[in-house]
Structure 1
Amino acid sequence: MSDDITVLVVDDDYHVASVHAGFVGRVPGFRVVGEAHTAAEALAETARLHPDLVLMDIYLPDGDGLDVTRTLLSRADAPAVIVVSAARDAASLRTAVQLGAVHYLVKPFGFADLADRLNAFREAHAQWGRMPDEATQADVNRIFGLLRGTASTPATVSPDTSRLAPTLRLVYEVVAATGPMSAVEVATAVGISRATAQRYLAQLEQSGLVRLDLRYGSTGRPEHRYSLRG
């Protein structure tokens, strides 16, 4: 456990942060040590927890995640940063690269996408630990090749889900990482409408991949909750 790469997940949406934390927890060699939902929390939690890696959202309620990244990467004990955001504009991408983010993932993304980047980072992190005091060009090429490419050991996708359509598989992976979840929570995490989430969840239930349970609250009206079957 002490050798795990520690990760801080930053996202303004609590459900999305939980999903991303669940994804990270499924990748060997990584451990989530905290979550932050504002720019101020991101700075404070990084200073308190000293994570090796930060998954950084851009749209935060009290600031810009890229500004937070700029502050973090200016410190002597700076963590590595992977930007995870719905922002697709060239300016955000260019700024992330200029600041030194090791990767940029556009939301929504599935477990396999994040796992590829984390596996690549883990290999680069291991290389750093074995790096001589003075790196050769071959050392530099190897590190940047790992960070800009994909991990040599790809993420394993369940055979039962490998042929699912991308969004359907993403819904499945969200439930796998976080469940039990309602259709509203799935819709928020994936970035789709409630009706679309309900349709995909029904399809997954009919395929035997997820289970539908009814949870009764104080009003007596049941709430539909979805989790992995078995």
Structure 2
Amino acid sequence: MTPPPIRTLVVDDDYRVAAVHAAYVEKVDGFTVVGQAHTAAAALDAVTELDPDLVLMDVFLPDGDGLTVVRSLMDRARHPDVVVITAARDMSTVRTAMQLGAVHYLVKPFGFAALSERLSAYRRLHLRIAGLPGEADQTAVDELFGILRSQPASARRPAKGHSAPTLELVRNAVRTAPDAVSASDVAESIGISRATAQRYLSYLESYGVVRLQLRYGSTGRPEHRYSPA
């Protein structure tokens, strides 16, 4: 028997962004969007009315803080799981989201692939929990926590024309750099051409493994720089 879809509420202050994220969710197997909300008050009302399984929660809302909404939800006897989706990158916000029990934290902007990977991991967790008996041994507990922590499968399987060792070298070059790096920086640090570095960086960025930042100078085109997602 096919399990019912995971009923998802999308919360974002920007109507257009909310619509994009809702469209992303609908494209992921096993999910359906039951509503959208654009304020903290509307989010609380929507959870009460719609009883979603999962909420994609923005932090910056016009009438309050999305994490305050999450805190209110977690105080309820029955509450949805939460994926925080925000432009906030400060560690205080990240730490608070973790302490409140958010199952994932996605930094805007991101593409469909990044959200799809995390939703798919959440669905695997959802199904695995449903299939376990009333008690879990340590092996089962480790498995459950590992489902959400695992690296996205698509980033572990390079597309045609991409070498797995080179992909890992590029990823590590970004991860260990003290600041955001350019394709030229990566190329020099691991000994590949700038064009090759750019191709691998673009691939990793499309899957949400690295984050693209545009650095504008006084003239000319903006420089593409990358940091860990």
2:83 partner amino acid? I
3-state SS of the aligned residue for 1:113?
Answer: helix
> Percent identity of the aligned residues?
53
Deviation at 1:148, TM superposition (A): 2.0
1:22 has 2:26 as partner:
no
Q: Which runs of 4+ in 1 moved over 3 A?
A: 150-154, 163-167
3-state SS of the aligned residue for 1:41?
Answer: helix
Give the structure 1 partner of residue 144 of structure 2. 143
Give the structure 2 partner of residue 13 of structure 1. 14
1:106 partner amino acid? V
3-state SS of the aligned residue for 1:133?
Answer: coil
3-state SS of the aligned residue for 1:100?
Answer: coil
Give the structure 1 partner of residue 194 of structure 2. none
TM-score (norm 2): 0.67
1:130 has 2:131 as partner:
yes
3-state SS of the aligned residue for 2:68?
Answer: helix
Q: Distance in 1 between matches of 2:20 and 2:144?
A: 29
Equivalences, count: 170
Give the structure 2 partner of residue 111 of structure 1. 112
Q: Distance in 2 between matches of 1:28 and 1:81?
A: 18
Give the structure 1 partner of residue 35 of structure 2. 34
Give the structure 2 partner of residue 79 of structure 1. 80
TM-score (norm 1): 0.66
Give the structure 1 partner of residue 5 of structure 2. 4
3-state SS of the aligned residue for 1:135?
Answer: coil
Structure 1 residue ranges without an equivalent (≥5):
171-190, 193-230
1:67 has 2:68 as partner:
yes
What value does the CA root-mean-square deviation take over the aligned residues? 3.0
Q: Distance in 1 between matches of 2:91 and 2:82?
A: 18
Deviation at 1:152, TM superposition (A): 5.2
- After superposition, what is the alpha-carbon deviation per residue over 1:143-172, rounded to whole angstroms, capped at 9, x for unaligned? 111122246577x9x99xxx69859x97xx
Q: Distance in 2 between matches of 1:8 and 1:134?
A: 30
Deviation at 1:65, TM superposition (A): 0.3
Contact 1:29 1:122 in 2 (8 A): yes
